[in-house]
Amino acid sequence: MDAENTKPVTRIQREKHELILEAALDVFSQYGFRGSTIDQIADAAGMSKPNLLYYFKSKEDIHAPLLARILDTWLEPLRALDQNGDPLPELQSYIRRKLEMSRDFPRESRLFANEMLRGAPGFSDVLHTDLKDLVDEKARVIEKWMAQGRIARCDARHLIFSIWATTQHYADFDIQVRAVLGKERGGETRFEDAARFLDQLFLHGLTPKK
Amino acid sequence: MDAENTKPVTRIQREKHELILEAALDVFSQYGFRGSTIDQIADAAGMSKPNLLYYFKSKEDIHAPLLARILDTWLEPLRALDQNGDPLPELQSYIRRKLEMSRDFPRESRLFANEMLRGAPGFSDVLHTDLKDLVDEKARVIEKWMAQGRIARCDARHLIFSIWATTQHYADFDIQVRAVLGKERGGETRFEDAARFLDQLFLHGLTPKK
DNA sequence: CTGGAATTTTTCCAATCGGTCAAAAAATTT
DNA sequence: AAATTTTTTGACCGATTGGAAAAATTCCAG
């Protein structure tokens, strides 16, 4: 009955499953679902298309587990936001962790972005439940901090949006960021520079300390 | 010789050109270049594929003018950043104008995002010249303001990135934003809420005024 | 080292892809 | 209204798409 949940059992199955998902992440994150072809993925995985289809019976079946895996990973830093910690350091470390994810998992970020651009088909239910619930919960935590005067009063949800946006930008718009910074400005320090900048932005904004 | 630059002359040509580009923007902004089909665009434009190809001789020829038109529009607010104005109001109005563009031209924003996710093929030259030059120029303006103590010291380029990221987020991740805010929280005020929040973020950050 | 299971390759398919072409139909000019 | 130009259609093309089937091969336990 649960034919789709049959997990790999043999050594080869485990290896190839992982190999294919790795290759698929490369391809899907660049071209999106419709723009990617099974042949492309098979090539990237170094195998023939029918061979790939022996492990995943359809294009959807390769894409779905990638998405499922990601949302969880992606929200982990937000889950770690601790209501018992100090507000500013908590948010600071949330921002830093999200930025590190953009640095270390840019393909995952782009896959997610591709899905959002398409309007998140067959994914919007998760957005309205799991995601919304988590954001609601953490927004309440942040609002409590505001009520206690430990943090400036602002819209907690838009604060979360701005953290997502600024950090994911470095993965999703990597090409643009590199182009603008140029090589002479040492594009390899861009994540440290970004971390410093975001720290200041979220802590103090642009008002000069007189 | 300049066969590709033959501009529409008749009334019908002008109308259909615009109609097709409008439809193509809908499709390309959702599925990206590779994920979109000429048939889809023709359907959206209410005409047959061969008829569409009478006006644009290839898929590329529909896509290219859309992209060309956008980068210019997109950077106009940054161009308007006036070095003779007051720093904080200048930046504030830059942010507001960018946010308004996300509200009024979300498809253009998504088309651009799609192109970036793909690595901006056949576009990266513009990024390294026009875009970089403009950002360099405006970064110098901002750095001058910092040197004069009229604005907090920070990385001017990453400041620009953060403005791009936070504002475009409301167009590119619209689905997610709506899902998180939910209808009960009046998703139709999200742009006003965002404007208020971004004003505060960039002006004062999160440090509470004691 | 062999028999059965797991894996891979070869061949194939119908649908869709981007695009062409000639003829039909409108629109415009004379 | 006739002649001409512009626009639209339908039929079609080779290449690519997602995927099926079955034969050929490799793997591994007894």
B91-100, pLDDT tens digit by residue?
999 999 999 9
B2-12, pLDDT tens digit by residue?
333 344 567 77
Please give the Cα distance from A49 to B124 (Å, whole number).
32
CA distance A131 to chain B (A): 7
pLDDT at position A6 is: 42
Among A161, A197, A204, pick the best mutation site for testing chain B contact (most B Cβ within 10 A). Answer: A161
pLDDT at position B10 is: 75
Sorted by where each begins, the domain ranges of chain A are 3-57, 63-204
pLDDT at position B7 is: 47
Q: Which residues of B touch A113 (CB under 8 A)?
A: 113, 117, 172-173
What residue of A is the nearest CA neighbor of B169?
A: A165
pLDDT at position A209 is: 65
DSSP H helices, chain A, are 11-35, 38-45, 49-55, 59-79, 87-104, 106-117, 124-126, 132-147, 156-172, 174-181, 190-204
Please give the Cα distance from B150 to B143 (Å, whole number).
10
Q: Does domain B67-204 have CATH number 3.40.50.2300?
A: no
A162-194, pLDDT tens digit by residue?
999 999 999 999 999 999 999 888 778 999 999
Could you give the percent of chain B with pLDDT greater than 90?
Answer: 85
Exposed, middle or buried by CB within 10 Å (0-12, 13-18, 19+), for B94? buried
Q: Separation of CA B36 and C1' D24 in angstroms?
A: 39
Q: Does domain A3-57 have CATH number 1.10.10.60?
A: yes
Chain D: nucleotides below 7 Å from protein CB are: 6-11, 16-22, 27-28
Could you give the percent of chain B with pLDDT greater than 70?
Answer: 95
Nearest to B204 among A135, A177, A205 (CB): A205
- Helix A174-181 and helix B132-147, axial crossing angle in degrees, nearest 10: 60
A161/B166 touch (CB, cutoff 8 Å), yes or no: yes
Nearest to A207 among B176, B203, B208 (CB): B203
Q: Does position A44 have pLDDT exceeding 80, yes or no?
A: yes
Q: What's the average model confidence in pLDDT over B3-29?
A: 80
**Amino acid identity of A87?**
P
A203/B205 touch (CB, cutoff 8 Å), yes or no: yes
CA distance A109 to chain B (A): 10
Please give the Cα distance from A7 to A14 (Å, whole number).
9
pLDDT at position B199 is: 96
> What is chain A's mean pLDDT, rounded?
92
Q: Does position A5 have pLDDT exceeding 60, yes or no?
A: no
Give Rg (Cα) of chain B: 20
pLDDT at position B210 is: 54
* CATH annotation of A63-204: 1.10.357.10
Q: Are A126 and A71 in contact (CB under 8 A)?
A: yes
Nearest to B157 among A30, A33, A181 (CB): A181
Q: Are B79 and B127 in contact (CB under 8 A)?
A: no
Instruction: Indicate the helix (H) or strand (E) that contains B98.
Output: helix B87-104
pLDDT at position B2 is: 30
pLDDT at position A4 is: 35
A·B CB contacts under 8 A: 222
Choice among A125-134, B43-52, B62-71, B178-187 with the minimum mean pLDDT: B178-187
Q: Does position A72 have pLDDT exceeding 70, yes or no?
A: yes
Equal fold, B3-57 vs B67-204:
no
Please give the Cα distance from B98 to A64 (Å, whole number).
34
B34/A33 touch (CB, cutoff 8 Å), yes or no: no
Question: If DSSP codes are grouped into helix, strand and coil, which group holds residue B44?
Answer: helix
A134-167, pLDDT tens digit by residue?
999 999 999 999 999 999 999 999 999 999 999 9
Q: Does position B146 have pLDDT exceeding 80, yes or no?
A: yes
pLDDT at position B120 is: 95
What residue of B is the nearest CA neighbor of A107?
A: B117
